[in-house]
């Protein structure tokens, strides 16, 4: 131990650490995850403050200036109806991020609750819930989304509902698996012995111990949701005009791809970067939170 | 051993039943009366509507309608289209099914080939710049939505360089862009998994033994390491086929391919619910069958799965 001084010392490693602090330090070392995190923070800030930035209206048409390339007053140019592209991308991003966040929060709440109940109580309750989950797995997810979006009335709420329907089975299955592994452990027995109620055990003891994979799933889930929403909007059954959406813009721009590629290319870049960032962040979180990956 | 197979068969049949149940009842949530939709703007008397409802069995309670639907579907009868009035749904879908099968198979083969090459390369050059680059591209590949990737590829290879055609599926050159676009995501997913699985295998003792025997490195990697590493990646093959089946809606729209996905999108626009329902059910059946076959193969190739279940 006297030889310690010749070993390289990582100065930022705290002496006493807990899981979350540890994860934070590990995440900081992952360059792609940090860049993604900063990018997403900036994006969220930009998109939330959009109404204060004095951008042109995303729906105001100017037939004198259609399909223009980037110019000082329209940084990303204008679209086929003379609307400002930057503004449409920003407001389209607002919708995409809200749908992504809203859907994943609902998926997490519903999926975790059902997964907790199924895994904790077992028996008939478990069988029933898991049968429904298995049945949902019979559909390729995006196929089911297209099917439901075609049937439900056209609105943002329908899209949110569709994507929650597609997303919750995965969350429920993952949570159930974690609960099954946890509920036989001594600290759960100990909690039961001192008379904790079932709900207290589920919410206070099991849930916090299964959060890591759920957090990773949350970030990657947002990426998937945004991608699915854009896909539906691209097919004309997601977010409908005049509300701007990235998928819808890419679709509209396809007709002008030969002459005005910027109409499709800019929203494609926005979509790809956002999905990429959520995936890189999720990937970084997985490495940071997975205790098996720790070297010491 | 046979218990494993019987379990899988029962589970698959159950999923099949559940899926048709969900799809059928959901399709009845669709707004608008089917007969009115069928007649379009024509003015029809209530008597005619009633007679047509009886003819299509629409006057029956919905659970009864479901039983009819299931019975007819088993004989390949999915009713008639609302849009192409009187035309059986299967005739609307059939021409597209073959087209989709063709190019989607090519896409699947390309995806697996790319994953095998780059997943292996990444694993044997673990933690080098090559590994990092491949994994960076792979994670990007997972993240770029197919229709956005298609936009970039069309702009570069068709419009700027004028190398490849954009629409249709007539010559081999027409296959390049749609198949590559479709293969990108599955290839990336598979390559990442294969790399992880290779890294686990490559340090095991039988690999050291193989090297100690003096086998050539390529033989060690391909015959001993890769063969064992491929097993865990087999499980995602079902998921990948599912993605390709559903991804066809987007890719066939982008590249104007007259496949089942484009027919589906048209049916959605035309509110042709019987066609939408039939496509959903048929694609789910294909998906379930592939999942079933993958499960069986896994059971055959890995005895641990069979005996533990």
Mean pLDDT across B187-207: 86
Of B140, B151, B247, the CB nearest to A142: B247
What ipTM did this prediction achieve?
0.86
> Does the distance separating the beta carbons of B148 and A272 come in below 8 Å?
yes
Q: Do B242 and A140 touch (CB under 8 A)?
A: yes
In chain B, residues 52-71 whose CB comes closer than 8 Å to chain A: none
- What are the tens digits of pLDDT across the range A187-213? 888 888 888 888 888 888 888 888 888
Q: Which of A222, A215, A205 is nearest to A276 (CA)?
A: A222
- Name the band, by pLDDT with cuts 50, 70 and 90, for residue B41: low
CA distance B128 to chain A (A): 16
B27 and A CB contact within 8 Å: yes
Question: Which pLDDT score, from 0 to 100, does residue B108 have?
Answer: 94
Q: Helices marked H in chain B — which ranges?
A: 2-27, 34-39, 46-55, 62-74, 89-124, 129-143, 146-153, 172-202, 205-212, 217-219, 227-233, 235-254, 260-269, 273-301, 303-308
Does residue B211 or residue A105 have the better pLDDT? A105
pTM for this model (two decimals) = 0.85
Check if A283 contacts B (Cβ < 8 Å): yes
Across the interface, which of A138, A142, A261 has its CB nearest the CB of B284? A138
DSSP-derived secondary structure letter, A50: G
Nearest CA in chain A to B270: A150
> Could you give the CA distance from residue A68 to residue A59 in angstroms, rounded to a whole number?
16
CA distance B307 to chain A (A): 20
Predicted confidence band at A164 (pLDDT cuts at 50, 70, 90)?
A: very high
- Are residues A140 and B15, on separate chains, in Cβ contact within 8 Å? no
Which of B37-46, B193-202, B233-242 shows the lowest per-residue confidence on average (mean pLDDT)?
B37-46
Look at residues A253, A230, A236 and name the one whose alpha carbon lies nearest to residue A78: A253
Is residue A10 over pLDDT 60?
no
Q: Which residues from chain B sit within 8 angstroms of residue A271, using beta carbons?
A: 145, 148
- Count Cβ–Cβ pairs < 8 Å, chain A vs chain B: 138
DSSP states of A63-79 as a string?
A: TTS-S----SSSTT-B-
Residue A230 sits at the chain B interface (C-beta within 8 Å): yes
Per-residue model confidence as pLDDT tens digits over B91-119: 889 888 999 999 999 999 999 999 999 98
Residue B309 has pLDDT above 60, yes or no: no
| A170 within 8 A of A218, measured Cβ to Cβ | no
Q: What whole-number distance in Å separates Cα of residue B57 and Cα of residue B35?
A: 11
How confident is residue A1, by pLDDT bands cut at 50, 70 and 90? very low
Q: How many CB atoms lie within 10 A of CB B237?
A: 20
Interfacial A residues in 107-166 facing B (CB < 8 Å): 131-132, 134-144, 146-148, 150-153
Inter-chain touch A276–B140, beta carbons under 8 Å: yes
Which of B284 and A209 is assigned the larger pLDDT? B284
How near does any CA of chain B get to the CA of A239, in Å?
15
Q: pLDDT tens for residues A44-83?
A: 888 888 777 777 777 777 666 666 667 666 667 777 666 7
Q: Which residues numbered 140-169 in B keep a CB inside 8 Å of some CB on A?
A: 140, 142-145, 147-149, 151-152, 154-155, 159
Backbone dihedral angles phi then psi of residue A189, each to the nearest 5 degrees: -60, -45
**Does the pLDDT at position A23 exceed 70?**
yes
Q: Which residue of A has its CA nearest to B17?
A: A135
Listed in sequence order, the residues at least 6 apart from B250 whose beta carbon sits closer than 8 Å to its beta carbon are A231, A234, A235, B145, B146, B147, B150, B261
CATH number of A100-296: 1.10.3720.10
Cα Rg of chain B, angstroms: 24
Across the interface, of B31, B151, B283, the residue whose CB is closest to A250 is: B151
Task: Note whether B186 and B108 are within 8 A (CB).
Answer: yes
Q: Which CATH architecture has domain B1-309?
A: Orthogonal Bundle (1.10)
B145 secondary structure, DSSP code: -
List pLDDT tens digits, range A94-126: 889 999 999 999 999 999 999 989 988 888 999
């Amino acid at each position: 131990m006297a030889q310690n001084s010749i070993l390289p010392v990582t100065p930022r490693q705290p002496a006493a650490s807990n899981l979350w602090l540890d994860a934070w330090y590990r995440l900081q070392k992952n360059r792609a995850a940090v860049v993604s995190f900063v990018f997403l923070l900036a994006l969220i800030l930009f998109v939330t403050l959009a109404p204060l930035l004095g951008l042109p209206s995303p729906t105001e048409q100017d037939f004198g200036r259609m399909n223009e390339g980037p110019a000082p007053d329209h940084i990303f140019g204008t679209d086929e109806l003379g609307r400002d592209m930057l503004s449409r991308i920003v407001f389209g991003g607002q919708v995409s991020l809200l749908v992504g966040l809203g859907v994943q929060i609902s998926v997490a709440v519903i999926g975790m609750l059902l997964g907790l109940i199924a895994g904790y109580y077992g028996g008939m309750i478990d069988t029933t819930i898991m049968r429904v989950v298995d049945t949902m797995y019979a559909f390729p997810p995006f196929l089911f989304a297209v099917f439901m979006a075609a049937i439900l009335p056209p609105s943002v709420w329908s899209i949110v509902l569709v994507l929650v329907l597609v997303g919750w089975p995965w969350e429920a299955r993952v949570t159930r698996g974690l609960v099954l592994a946890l509920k036989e452990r001594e600290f759960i027995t100990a909690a039961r012995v001192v008379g904790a109620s079932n709900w207290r055990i589920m919410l206070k003891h099991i849930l916090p111990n299964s959060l890591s994979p759920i957090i990773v799933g949350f970030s990657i889930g947002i990426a998937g949701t945004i991608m699915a929403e854009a896909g539906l909007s691209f097919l004309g059954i997601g977010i409908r005009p005049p509300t701007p959406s990235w998928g819808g813009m890419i679709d509209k721009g396809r007709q002008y791809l030969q002459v005005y590629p910027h109409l499709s290319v800019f929203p494609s870049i926005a979509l790809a970067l956002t999905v990429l960032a959520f995936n890189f962040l999720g990937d970084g979180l997985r490495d940071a939170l997975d205790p098996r990956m720790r070297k010491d | 051993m046979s218990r494993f197979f019987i379990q899988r068969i029962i589970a698959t049949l159950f999923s099949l039943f559940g899926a048709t149940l969900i799809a059928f009842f959901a399709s009845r949530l669709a707004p608008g009366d089917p007969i009115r939709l069928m007649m379009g703007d024509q003015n029809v008397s209530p008597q005619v509507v009633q007679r047509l409802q009886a003819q299509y069995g629409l006057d029956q309670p919905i659970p009864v309608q479901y039983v009819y639907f299931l019975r007819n579907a088993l004989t390949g009868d999915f009713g008639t289209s609302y849009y192409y009035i009187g035309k059986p749904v299967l005739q609307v879908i059939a021409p597209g099914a073959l087209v989709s099968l063709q190019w989607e198979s090519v896409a699947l083969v390309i995806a697996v080939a790319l994953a095998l090459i780059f997943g292996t390369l990444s694993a044997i050059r673990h933690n080098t710049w090559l590994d990092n680059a491949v994994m960076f591209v792979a994670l990007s590949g997972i993240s770029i939505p197919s229709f956005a990737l298609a936009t970039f590829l069309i702009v570069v290879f068709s419009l700027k360089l004028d190398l490849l055609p954009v629409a249709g599926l007539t010559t081999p050159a027409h296959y390049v862009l749609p198949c590559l676009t479709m293969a990108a995501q599955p290839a990336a997913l598979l390559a990442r998994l294969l790399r992880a699985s290779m890294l686990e295998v490559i340090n095991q003792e039988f690999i050291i033994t193989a090297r100690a025997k003096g086998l050539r490195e390529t033989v060690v990697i391909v015959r001993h390491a890769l063969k064992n590493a491929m097993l865990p990646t087999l499980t995602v093959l079902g998921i990948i086929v599912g993605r390709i089946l559903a991804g066809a809606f987007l890719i066939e729209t982008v590249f104007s391919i007259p496949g089942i996905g484009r027919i589906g999108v048209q049916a959605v626009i035309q509110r042709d619910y019987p066609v939408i329902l039939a496509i959903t059910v048929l694609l789910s059946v294909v998906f379930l069958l592939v999942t079933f076959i993958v499960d069986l193969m896994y059971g055959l190739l890995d005895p641990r799965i069979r005996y533990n279940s």
